[in-house]
């Protein structure tokens, strides 16, 4: 008997699959066949479930039901989205892949959940990934994470500020060190190389560490504050662990690795016992994948592979790549419980400025790192004032004070000057619970 749909692929639900041994990928799919009155999704889903596991376009003798039951992808959720568009089928789809196929192998895992499947559906996007216990136990995650970084910096309960060294490349190690010193005495908590900097003709990563560390020690004597410098070591995978170990031996307090180096490379550095400093993961190249892979998926993947901090999109940045909800959800998955895996610090980023602090803190909460390059170094009174303006903006946000009124205080002159240059914004409000504005409650003042 020939069947249109293989039961070993389709006759499953989330309740019936062993969630201890299956990774579950959630996708959005939208497909259109112009002029076709009969559109069905299941043939397409069957093809991509097999393509991500055991099968190919032509069945062979050894592709038995037993093999498919053991190793093939399984449809565990199909939720059609009603649409008025003709010739179109739209749905949220969940596929479970057995981890017996690769168990502890990030590149192979990505082949299953984010590989050839994208060639099958016209508009397909990986929205979420569930990691089963038998997979998660093999990952160590961040060495430090949120609690560890708070201990290293001595900052207990507020957002941390971070100075992005600018320009992206071209400065000598001495110039880098001088810039870092100026923001350090202004109260910045951390600083980092720009992601475009690694080794250039006039500056190697070891030279920068040698130049920056004495200046940070000088600043620490003045402020009593130990600032962490994240030095970029991004390189070929075969060199990355070597560079990480050399950087640590030279006194590096933190390392920056770009996503372009790859998740396995990040994991290898993070799990190396000789690399005992936090890692900042820069989201390079993720933008290219954004139409096909949602940012929360990247957040989870980088977290289990060892990122202590990771850049996070925010709707209010100069490059709002995703919706507000997707940006916030990216932060949520970095902080949410995930077995034994420590939390990864979210970093809402890109073109942020001090006047934005109340919105960032209000949306993301206190467990964030706020990175600023131009929005700190571009302060009209210089780099030190720029660092101070951010500390003042964070204080205003944490206290719940109106940032304009807070900036009027004489001791917060740096914040006032920053607001005069870059301004503030009023976050729009959507009155879901009382749609008609005339029915909104109003505050009342009573006279004694």
**pLDDT digits 0-9 by tens, 219-254:** 999 999 999 999 999 999 889 999 999 999 999 999
**Segment among 159-168, 346-355, 434-443 with least mean pLDDT:** 434-443
CA distance 414 to 90: 52
> What per-residue confidence (pLDDT) applies to 6?
86
**Segment among 134-138, 211-215, 264-268, 321-325 with least mean pLDDT:** 321-325
pLDDT band at 69 (very low <50, low <70, confident <90, very high): confident
> What per-residue confidence (pLDDT) applies to 51?
81
> What per-residue confidence (pLDDT) applies to 37?
83
Give the residue-averaged pLDDT of 420-446: 81
Q: For the domain with range 145-422, which CATH number is right: 3.20.20.110, 3.30.420.40, 3.40.50.670, 3.40.640.10?
A: 3.20.20.110
> Which spans in 94-204 are helix H?
106-113, 133-136, 145-153, 173-184
Give the residue-averaged pLDDT of 202-230: 96
**Segment among 58-62, 104-108, 135-139, 396-400 with least mean pLDDT:** 58-62
> What per-residue confidence (pLDDT) applies to 50?
83
> What per-residue confidence (pLDDT) applies to 448?
67
Token readout for 348 is 């809402």
Parallel/antiparallel/unpaired status of strands 228-232 and 190-192: parallel
| Mean pLDDT across the chain | 91
CA neighbor of 387 nearest in space, from 156, 215, 191: 191
Question: Tokens 């996708």 label which residue?
Answer: 27
Give the residue-averaged pLDDT of 51-69: 75
- Other Cβ atoms less than 10 A from the Cβ of 435: the count is 9
Which residues are part of the catalytic machinery? 166, 285
125 three-state secondary structure: strand
Is a pLDDT exceeding 80 seen at residue 413?
A: yes
Is a pLDDT exceeding 80 seen at residue 436?
A: no
Parallel/antiparallel/unpaired status of strands 22-32 and 123-130: antiparallel
> What per-residue confidence (pLDDT) applies to 26?
97
DSSP type of residue 342: P
Instruction: Give the predicted TM-score (pTM) of the model.
Output: 0.92
**SS3 letters for 4-21?**
CCCHHHHCCCCCCCCCCC
> What per-residue confidence (pLDDT) applies to 57?
67
Give the residue-averaged pLDDT of 399-406: 95
CA distance 82 to 88: 10
CA distance 112 to 99: 10
Q: How far is CA 384 from the centre of its chain?
A: 28
Token readout for 351 is 């073109």
Tell me whether the omega of the peptide bond preceding residue 212 falls within 30 degrees of 0, making it cis.
Answer: no
- Other Cβ atoms less than 10 A from the Cβ of 405: the count is 10
CA distance 370 to 424: 16
> What per-residue confidence (pLDDT) applies to 106?
92
Degrees, nearest 5: CA angle 343-193-389: 80
What is the residue extent of each domain of the chain? 7-136, 145-422
CA neighbor of 25 nearest in space, from 125, 116, 108: 125
CATH class of the domain at 7-136: alpha beta
Tell me how far CA of residue 392 lies from CA of 66, 353, 417, 443, in angstroms.
Answer: 64, 12, 12, 29
């Amino acid at each position: 008997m020939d069947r249109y749909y293989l039961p070993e692929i389709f006759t499953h639900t989330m309740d019936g699959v062993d969630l201890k041994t299956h990774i579950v990928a959630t996708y959005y799919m939208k497909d259109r066949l112009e002029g076709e009155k009969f559109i069905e999704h299941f043939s397409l889903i069957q093809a991509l479930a097999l393509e991500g596991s055991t099968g190919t376009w032509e069945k062979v003798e050894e592709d038995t039901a037993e093999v498919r039951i053991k190793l093939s992808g399984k449809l565990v959720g199909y939720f059609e989205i009603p649409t008025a568009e003709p010739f179109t089928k739209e749905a949220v789809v969940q596929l479970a892949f057995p981890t017996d196929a690769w168990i502890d192998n990030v590149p192979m895992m990505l082949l299953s959940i984010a590989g050839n499947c994208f060639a099958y559906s016209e508009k397909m996007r990986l929205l979420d990934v569930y990691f089963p216990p038998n997979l998660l136990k093999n990952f160590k995650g961040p060495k430090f994470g949120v609690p560890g970084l708070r201990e290293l910096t001595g900052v207990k309960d507020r957002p941390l500020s971070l100075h992005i060294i600018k320009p992206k490349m071209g400065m000598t190690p001495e110039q880098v060190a001088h810039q870092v010193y100026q923001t350090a005495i202004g109260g910045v908590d951390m600083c980092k190389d720009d992601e475009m900097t690694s080794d250039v003709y006039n500056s190697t990563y070891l030279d920068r560490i040698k130049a920056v560390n004495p200046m940070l020690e000088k600043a620490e004597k003045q402020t009593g504050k130990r600032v962490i410098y994240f030095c970029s070591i991004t390189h070929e995978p075969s060199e990355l662990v070597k560079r990480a170990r050399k950087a640590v031996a030279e006194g590096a307090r933190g390392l920056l690795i770009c996503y372009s180096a790859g998740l396995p490379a990040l994991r290898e550095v993070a799990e190396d016992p000789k690399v005992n400093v936090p890692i900042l993961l820069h989201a390079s190249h993720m933008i290219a994948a954004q139409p096909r892979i949602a940012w929360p998926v990247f957040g989870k993947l980088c977290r289990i592979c060892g990122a202590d901090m990771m850049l996070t999109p925010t709707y209010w940045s100069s490059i709002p790549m995703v919706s507000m909800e997707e940006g916030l959800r990216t932060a949520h998955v970095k902080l949410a419980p995930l077995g034994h895996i420590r939390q990864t610090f979210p970093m809402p980023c890109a073109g942020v400025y001090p006047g934005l602090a109340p919105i960032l803190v209000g949306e993301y909460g206190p467990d964030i790192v706020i990175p600023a390059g131009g929005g700190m170094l571009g302060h009209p009174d210089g780099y030190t004032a720029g660092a101070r303006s951010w500390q003042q903006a964070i204080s205003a946000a944490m206290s719940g004070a109106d940032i304009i009124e807070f900036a009027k205080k004489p001791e917060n002159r740096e914040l006032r000057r920053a607001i005069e240059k870059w301004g503030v914004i009023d976050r729009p409000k959507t009155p879901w619970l009382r749609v008609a504005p005339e029915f909104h409650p109003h505050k009342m003042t009573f006279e004694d």
